[in-house]
């Protein structure tokens, strides 16, 4: 919980901010991306529609969903006057329901199961209320997929599913947030003497003793090796990635039952990535600057090859959390006078809103590399649902270098608002609700 663990993400904040100062190149990327989305659209729609069709096989579904669902959706209908079509939604079945398409529904009577005071394992970085965030509506939005019901996170059930198992989150500070969210979602039902937490620089382990289960986090922001893993290199231009080397990290991932990976935001610190591969006699001097999506593809491919050659899918389940969007440009959601995500208290309501903080090229690389893998990888596709949540970030209610922002810093959100990380409780709880539904 000390400074070491909070430094890396802050470094990332700075770079993204830095990146925000390169409007021209970014705009080009965005325009190209948008053009590309336009092209893709007709393609992505069709498989989706067929999925929707298979989703609405009501016969197979009603028998499974039983009475509780009927009651729930009736209540939904009564309370908020939903479209009657909503009643067609069925109980979650990971094979049939996509959670990607849906909407955030506000529920003023919903209280998150933990707070940043009740859960002792949250970093200051994400403890927004403790850090002075005055509004709390952002905690009361629930994700409602269009064609099914996402089951609520049940801590006892989650722990049962983890009995005798190791669950490990691997990746960057966003992944660390998801890990802390998961721990907080279950820890309050475990008696004090039945749980423990060991925080390390790279590897942290929460233990639920009576379940013989662990919920772990392993820090490797690029998945592959770099010169900026544990000792963060502040200047992104000085970072060098060994795009074909992963064992130094991956040796810590063997023997884990459920692996949840991510890697995105650290790649976004510039347009090109200094990449190194093979064994060069001239060492770090031998790098090549590769375009970001190219370097990302090689790095992810290295990860995919490790998974395919090491993981036995009968013993280990592999998940991949897609890009966590950043909200650095309020113009993305037509808030011209806004300052980054600061002061946002409501999600974007425009269906399919997509800003400049989620790089479609990276999503495409992920789909393509994972699509060719032998070992099945389940996506926790959080990008679209999180894109809406401009209100969910730590913003100025965070810390820097181990200290809370000063009033002076808080008054300057342009330079100090963190629009990358998420408040907890908050949006990452929904990511874990999706993970839970797949366990
Ligand atoms: C709102 O939240 C309350 C408390 O968690 C819950 O009982 C109720 O069912 C929720 N309402 C809807 C419409 O989901
Ligand atoms: C506890 O879980 C580990 C795997 O995480 C397993 O190797 C070990 O045998 C389990 N111990 C008991 C007592 O079930
Ligand atoms: C996984 O289990 C299936 C069915 O039991 C078996 O055919 C297959 O060889 C196993 N795969 C591995 C890698 O052990
Ligand atoms: C944030 O909103 C409050 C109330 O709406 C307003 O008083 C304040 O000036 C806003 N701050 C910024 C930085 O926009
Ligand atoms: C995640 O969902 C988006 C739609 O929101 C889709 O475009 C993208 O291909 C999905 N990503 C993966 C890796 O499946």
| Ligand located closest to 80 CA | 1
Residue 233 has what pLDDT?
87
Confidence of residue 89 (pLDDT cuts 50, 70, 90): low
Nearest atom within ligand 5 for CA of residue 322 = 13
What are the b/e assignments for 333-372, b being 16+ CB within 10 Å? bebeebbbbbbbeebbeeeebbbbbbbbbbbebbeebbee
Are the C-beta atoms of residues 434 and 343 closer than 8 Å to each other? no
93 has pLDDT over 60: yes
Q: What torsion do the CA atoms of 334, 335, 340, 345 make, to the nearest 10 degrees? A: -110
Distance 186 CA to ligand 3 centre (A): 32
Least reliable range by pLDDT among 49-58, 236-245, 367-376, 390-399? 49-58
Pocket test for ligand 5, best of 102, 297, 360, 381 (most atoms within 8 A of CB): 381
Which listed ligand is nearest to 314 at the C-alpha? Answer: 3
- Residue located nearest, by CA, to atom 8 of ligand 5: 363
**Ligand 2 shell residues, CB under 6 Å:** 164-166, 212
Question: pLDDT tier at 270 (50, 70, 90 boundaries)?
Answer: confident
Of all atoms in ligand 3, which is nearest to the CA of residue 313?
13
For the cut 70, the answer to whether the pLDDT of residue 374 exceeds it is yes
Whether the Cβ atoms of residue 167 and residue 257 lie closer than 8 Å to each other: yes
Q: Is 343 in the pocket of ligand 4 (CB under 6 A)?
A: yes
Nearest CA, atom 13, ligand 1: 76
Q: Which ligand gives the minimal distance to the CA of 144?
A: 1
Nearest residue by C-alpha to atom 10 in ligand 2: 164
How does strand 225-226 pair with strand 288-291? unpaired
pLDDT per residue as tens digits for the range 297-351: 999 999 999 999 999 999 999 999 999 999 999 999 999 889 999 999 999 999 9
Q: pLDDT tens across 142-168, in order?
A: 999 998 889 999 999 999 999 999 999
Please tell me the predicted confidence (pLDDT) of residue 281. 56
Question: pLDDT at position 363, please?
Answer: 97
What the block records as the tokens of 129 is: 């209320």
Ligand 4 atom with the smallest distance to the CA of 343 is: 1
**Could you give the C-alpha distances from 356 to 182, 198, 236, 342, in angstroms and in order?**
28, 37, 20, 17
pLDDT (0 to 100) of residue 90? 61
pLDDT (average), residues 288-301:
95
Q: State the distance from the centre of ligand 5 to the C-alpha of 363, rounded, in angstroms.
A: 7
Calpha distance 126→2 (Å, rounded) = 13
Q: Select which of 123, 147, 391, 418 is catalytic.
A: 418
Higher pLDDT, 56 or 93: 93
pLDDT at 322: 97
pLDDT at residue 282, rounded to an integer:
65
30-55 pLDDT, tens per residue?
332 332 222 222 222 222 222 222 22
Percent of the chain with pLDDT over 70: 78
| pLDDT, mean of residues 285-292 | 89
421 is catalytic: yes
What is the Å distance from ligand 4's center to 277 Cα?
A: 49
pLDDT: is 37 or 191 the higher one? Answer: 191
Q: How far is the CA of 342 from the centre of ligand 4 (A)?
A: 9
The predicted structure's pLDDT at residue 85: 46
Q: Examine the pLDDT at 2 and tell me if it is beyond 70.
A: no
Q: pLDDT at position 387, please?
A: 97
Work out the mean pLDDT of the chain and round it to a whole number.
Answer: 82
Q: Convert the pLDDT of each residue in 10-34 to its tens digit.
A: 333 333 333 333 333 333 333 323 3
Confidence of residue 400 (pLDDT cuts 50, 70, 90): confident
Backbone angles phi, psi at 105, to 5 degrees: -115, 130
For residues 162 and 87, which has the higher predicted lDDT (pLDDT)? 162
Task: Record the tokens describing residue 325, joined without a space.
Answer: 């969007």
More confident residue, 251 or 87: 251
- 146 in catalytic set: no
Residue nearest (by alpha carbon) to ligand 5 atom 13: 367
CA of 323 to the centre of ligand 5 (A): 10
Active-site residue, selected from the candidate residues 65, 73, 173, 220: 173
Q: What gap in Å lies between CA 259 and CA 255, rounded to an integer? A: 10
Pick the more confident residue, 92 or 15: 92
pLDDT at residue 208, rounded to an integer: 98
Q: Which protein residues touch ligand 3 with a CB less than 6 Å away?
A: 312, 314
What was the pLDDT predicted at 385?
97
44 ligand 5 Cβ < 6 A:
yes
**Is the predicted pLDDT of residue 370 greater than 70, yes or no?**
yes
Question: What's the CA-to-centroid distance between 391 and ligand 4, angstroms?
Answer: 14
Q: What is the pLDDT of residue 401?
A: 83
Tell me if residue 418 is catalytic.
Answer: yes
**pLDDT recorded at residue 324:** 97
Q: What's the whole-number mean pLDDT along residues 105-118?
A: 96
Contact 213, 165 (CB under 8 A): yes
Domain boundaries defined on the chain: 3-57+96-438
Higher pLDDT, 251 or 2: 251
**Closest C-alpha residue for ligand 4 atom 8:** 343
Question: Cβ neighbours of residue 42 under 8 Å, at least 6 residues apart?
Answer: none
Is any atom of ligand 5 closer than 6 Å to the C-beta of 383? yes
* Least confident window among 12-16, 78-82, 184-188, 402-406: 12-16
Pocket test for ligand 4, best of 134, 343, 416 (most atoms within 8 A of CB): 343
């Amino acid at each position: 919980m000390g400074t070491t663990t909070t430094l890396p993400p802050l470094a990332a904040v700075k770079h993204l901010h830095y990146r925000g100062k390169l409007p021209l190149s970014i705009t080009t990327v965005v325009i190209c991306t948008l053009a590309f989305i336009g092209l893709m659209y007709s393609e992505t729609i069709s498989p989706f529609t067929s999925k929707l069709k298979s989703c609405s096989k009501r016969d197979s579904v009603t028998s499974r969903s039983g009475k509780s669902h009927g009651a729930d959706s009736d209540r939904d209908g009564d309370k908020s006057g939903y479209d009657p079509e909503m009643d067609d939604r069925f109980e979650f079945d990971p094979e049939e329901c996509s959670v990607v398409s849906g909407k955030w529904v506000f529920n003023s009577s919903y209280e998150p199961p933990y707070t940043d005071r009740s859960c002792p394992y949250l970093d200051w970085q994400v403890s927004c209320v403790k850090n002075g965030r005055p509004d709390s509506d952002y905690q009361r939005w629930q994700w409602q997929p269009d064609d099914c019901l996402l089951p609520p996170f049940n801590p006892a059930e989650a722990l049962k599913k983890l009995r005798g198992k190791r669950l490990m989150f691997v990746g960057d500070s966003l992944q660390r947030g998801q890990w802390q969210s998961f721990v907080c979602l279950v820890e309050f039902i475990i008696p004090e003497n039945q749980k423990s937490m060991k925080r390390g620089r790279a590897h942290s382990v929460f233990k639920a003793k009576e379940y013989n289960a662990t919920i772990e986090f392993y820090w490797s922001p690029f998945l592959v090796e770099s010169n900026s893993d544990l000792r963060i290199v502040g200047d992104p231009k000085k970072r060098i990635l060994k795009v074909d080397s992963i064992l130094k990290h991956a040796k810590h991932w063997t023997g884990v039952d459920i692996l949840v990976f991510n890697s995105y935001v650290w790649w976004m610190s510039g347009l090109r990535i200094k990449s190194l591969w093979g064994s060069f006699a001239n060492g770090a001097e031998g790098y090549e600057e590769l375009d970001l999506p190219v370097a990302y593809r090689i790095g992810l491919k290295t990860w995919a090859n490790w998974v395919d050659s090491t993981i036995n899918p009968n013993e280990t389940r592999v998940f991949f959390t897609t890009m966590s969007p950043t909200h650095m440009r309020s113009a993305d959601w037509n808030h011209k006078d806004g300052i980054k995500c600061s002061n946002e208290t409501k999600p974007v309501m425009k269906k399919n809103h997509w800003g400049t903080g989620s790089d479609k090229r990276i999503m495409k690389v992920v789909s393509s590399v994972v699509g060719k893998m032998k070992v099945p990888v389940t996506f926790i596709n959080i990008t679209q649902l999180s894109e809406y949540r401009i209100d969910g970030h730590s913003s100025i209610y965070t810390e820097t270098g181990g200290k809370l922002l000063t009033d002076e810093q808080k008054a300057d959100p342009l330079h100090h608002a963190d629009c990358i990380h998420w408040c907890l409780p908050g949006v990452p709880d929904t990511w874990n609700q999706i993970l839970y539904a797949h366990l």
